[in-house]
A and B are shown apart, each in its own frame.
Chain A
C-alpha cells in the first residue's frame, strides 16, 4: 500500500512509478544479520533457526497477508520440504543446494495439488481444510516410519560441503551464511512478486474479491498460483531446517508449527513484507528466554503477548512503528 506520507512533491504518476524503489529501512534486516554474525559467534545456530523461521513466515505472508487466505496448515509445506531434503540427504544425496531445490519443488507441487482442491472453498471451511491437510500429512509421516523415522524422527542426515568448498562446521558458521543467502534470495523473490502486478492483484483479491472478478481477473487461478509459490518457499525453509539441524521430527508437520508461524507474523505485522523479519526473531528469542525462565508454562506468556498485540496493536509491531512515524510526520 502506498500511503500518502509526505507532501506530494511528485506527480501521482511519478509517485506510483517509483513506488517499488528500495528504501533504506529495507536494508536494516540485512545489516542486523551481518552484525549478528560477528557480534554473537556463539549463537549462530540459533541465528540460522531464526532466519529459517523468517523465510517460513515470509512465505505465509504471501498467502495470508497479501492474498488473504487464512490458513492453519502452512506447516504442511514446511514439513514436506524438510522430509524431502532430509530423506534425500539420509540416502546419500548430500549436496545441499539441489536438496533445497527438490524440497521446495515437492512442497510446491503439494501446494498446487491441495490448493486446486481446497481453494474452491472459503472462510471457515477453507480453514478446516488447511488443518485437515497438515493433519493427514502428519499422520502419514508417522505411519511411514520406514521412510521418515516416524516418532523417533529422521536421523542420519549428512551433508556435503556447500558448493564443494565449505564444510558445515560445529560453530554453525557455514549454516548461518547459507541460511542468510537463501533468505536473501527468498526476500528478493518475494519483494519482486508483491510489487509486480500479480502481487498487487493479490492485495486486490484480499480487499475485494467481487471487484477483482468484475475487472476480469482470474481470481481462483491466481489464488492457486500464490498458494503453490508460497508452499514452495515454505518447503525451502523446511529443507533448510532439515539440512542445518540434520534432523527432522514429526513436529514439522504439526498444527502447532502452523500456529507458531502465524503468531510470529501477527507479532511483526501481516501483509507488510517485513513483518516476518520482525516477528520471527522476537518470537524465537522470547521462546528461548521464556522457556528458560518458565520451562513449563512459557507458552502462557506468548499467549499473553499475542492478546496484547491483537487488542492494542492490530498491525503488529510494524503497524505501531508506522503509526508513530505518521504522527511524527504531521
Chain B
C-alpha cells in the first residue's frame, strides 16, 4: 500500500550541525502515529522539512507516492498536507471565524478572488462555522483570536488545519502550553478526526501520546532510534533511559 507520507534518507544540516540524519519514515493512510524524542531531537525540523518550510540537504519526501521534495509549501498543502504549529501561528487580530474562513477559502481555490465580496460565499463561511461548532469554538466566533484563552487558541490552530481537509495532518505539540485540565478537549477533537486522515503528532505529553497513537517513532539526535507499538516502545530500555528519564513532562 502506498504511504500517505514517506521520507527517504531525509537529511538536513546547518553547516557542520546535522539536525536530521537520514530519516526513513512512513506514515500509513489513516495512521495515528506519534513522533517523540527529547528536546533538540529534531522533531520540529522534521515537520518543517515535510511541509517545505525548510529545504532538505539530501533525501526525498513523498505524499501519496508523489515526490514533493521540490515543491513549495503551498503546492504541498494543495496535495493534502495540513499542519498545526507548536507555537500559535494565527491571525491574532482577526476573528476566530475569519481565521478558519481563510483556510476554507484557500482550500477551495477562492483565496485569490478579487471582485466578489468574501461574504458573498455564504457556503464557505458556513463550513468554517460548522468546524467551530465541532471544536466548541462557536461562542468565540466573532472575537479576535488575541482575546481568547491560550488553550482555545490551540483549538483554533486545529480548526484552521481541519479547514484544509488534509489527507495528512501534522500536529506539532497540540497540547503545548495548555493547562492539563483543558487537554481533554484537544484529545477529544483528535479522537474525532476522520478515520481516513493520516495523523502524525509530535507531543511531550506521554499520556496524550499513549491514549492517541497506535504507532510511535522515537527520534534521537536527528535519527530514528526505534519504531513500534506503544507497548513495545514503553518496554524498550533505551527509550526509557533516553526519553522517559529526562524529557517526561506528563
B112-139 residues with Cβ-Cβ distance < 8 A to A are 112-122, 125-126, 129, 132, 138
**B143: CB under 8 A from chain A?**
yes
A196-224 contact mask (Cβ, 8 Å, vs B): 1 or 0: 11111101100110110111111100100
Inter-chain contact B114/A15, CB cutoff 8 Å: no
A19 at the interface (CB under 8 A from B): yes
Q: Which residue of A lies closest to B81 (CB)?
A: A216
Of all chain A residues, which has the CB nearest B143? Answer: A4
Q: Which single member of B76, B112, B122, B125 contacts A201 (CB below 8 Å)?
A: B112
Mask, B100-117, CB within 8 Å of A = 1, is 011101110011111111
Verify A8–B142 contact, CB threshold 8 A. Answer: yes
In-complex Cβ contact of B90 among A18, A20, A208, A219 (8 A): A208
Which B residues are CB-close (under 8 A) to A216?
A: 73-78, 106-107, 164
Q: A195-B119, A196-B118 in contact; A208/B89 too (CB < 8 A)? A: yes
CB-CB nearest in chain B for A229: B114
Docked Cα-Cα span, A225 to B118, in Å, equals 18
In the bound complex, residues from chain A placing their C-beta under 8 Å from that of B4 are: none
| Inter-chain contact total with CB atoms closer than 8 Å | 139
- Cβ of A163 under 8 Å from chain B: no
Does any Cβ of B come within 8 Å of A329's Cβ? no
Say whether A16 faces chain B, with CB atoms less than 8 Å apart: yes
**Contact string, A172-189, partner B, CB cutoff 8 A, digits 1/0?**
000000000000000000
The CA-CA distance from A203 to B111 in the complex, in Å, is 12
Q: A177 to B95, alpha carbons, bound, how many Å? A: 39
CB distance from B8 to the nearest CB of A (A): 24
Question: Given A214-B77, A218-B74, do A20 and B119 touch, yes or no (CB 8 Å)?
Answer: yes
Q: Does A197 contact B53, Cβ atoms closer than 8 Å? A: no
In Å, the complex CA distance between A204 and B154 comes to 18
A19 neighbours in B (Cβ, 8 Å) = 118-119
Check B160 for interface membership: any CB of A closer than 8 A.
yes
Which residues of chain B from 182 to 210 have a CB within 8 Å of any chain A CB? none
**Contact status of A197 and B112, CB under 8 A, knowing A8-B142, A18-B119, A217-B106:** yes
- CA of A2 to CA of B116, assembled, Å: 18
**Residues of A contacting B: mostly:** helix
A1 to chain B, nearest CB (A): 6
Of A4, A200, A214, A218, which is in contact with the most chain B CB atoms at under 10 Å from its CB? Answer: A214
Q: Complex formed: what's the CA distance from A18 to B118 in Å?
A: 10
A12 part of interface (Cβ distance < 8 Å): yes
Beta-carbon nearest neighbor of A193 in chain B: B114
* A201 with B102: CB separation less than 8 A: yes
Q: Within the assembled complex, what's the spacing in Å between the Cα atoms of A201 and B111?
A: 7
Docked-complex contact B117 and A196, CB < 8 angstroms:
yes
**B82: A residues at CB distance < 8 A:** 214
- Select one of B98, B107, B116, B164 contacting A16, CB under 8 A: B98
**Are A197 and B118 neighbours in the complex by a CB distance under 8 Å?**
yes
Contacts of A35 in B (CB 8 A): none
Given contacts A16-B119, A192-B117, contact A211 B73 (CB under 8 A): no
In the complex the two chains form, what is the Cα distance from A208 to B93 in whole Å? 10
Contacts of A214 in B (CB 8 A): 51, 73, 77, 82-83, 85, 89
In chain B, what residue has the closest Cβ to A271?
B93
With an 8 A cutoff between CB atoms, is A13 at the interface?
yes
Contacts of B44 in A (CB 8 A): none
Task: Tell me how far the C-beta of B44 lies from the nearest C-beta in chain A, rounded to whole angstroms.
Answer: 13
Q: Are A196 and B142 in contact (CB under 8 A)?
A: no
Of all chain A residues, the one with the shortest Cβ separation from B108 is A197
Contacts known (A4-B142, A4-B143); A211 close to B90, Cβ less than 8 A: yes
Contacts of B110 in A (CB 8 A): 197
Residue of A nearest to B132 (CB): A12
Interface: A311 (CB within 8 A): no
Q: Does A124 reach chain B (CB closer than 8 Å)? A: no
Among A12, A17, A192, A215, the residue within 8 A (CB) of B102 is A215
Instruction: Evaluate contact between B77 and A210: CB separation under 8 angstroms.
Output: no
Known A-B contacts A2-B142, A16-B125, A200-B118; the reply to A217 vs B90 at CB < 8 A is no
Given contacts A19-B118, A203-B94, A214-B89, 12 further A-B contacts (CB under 8 A): A4-B143, A12-B129, A13-B125, A19-B119, A20-B118, A192-B114, A207-B94, A208-B92, A214-B82, A215-B102, A216-B73, A216-B75
B residues apposed to A, CB below 8 Å: 51, 53, 73-78, 82-83, 85, 89-95, 97-98, 101-103, 105-107, 110-122, 125-126, 129, 132, 138, 141-144, 160, 163-164
A contact set with B: CB distance below 8 Å: 1-4, 8, 12-13, 15-20, 192-193, 195-201, 203-204, 207-208, 210-211, 213-219, 222, 225
Q: List 16 A-B residue pairs with CB atoms under 8 Å apart, sorted by A's residue number.
A: A8-B142, A15-B142, A18-B119, A20-B118, A20-B119, A192-B114, A196-B117, A197-B113, A199-B118, A204-B94, A207-B90, A207-B91, A208-B92, A214-B83, A215-B163, A218-B112
Question: Sorted from nearest, which 9 A-B pairs have the closest CB atoms?
Answer: A216-B77, A12-B141, A207-B91, A20-B117, A17-B119, A213-B73, A198-B114, A197-B113, A215-B103
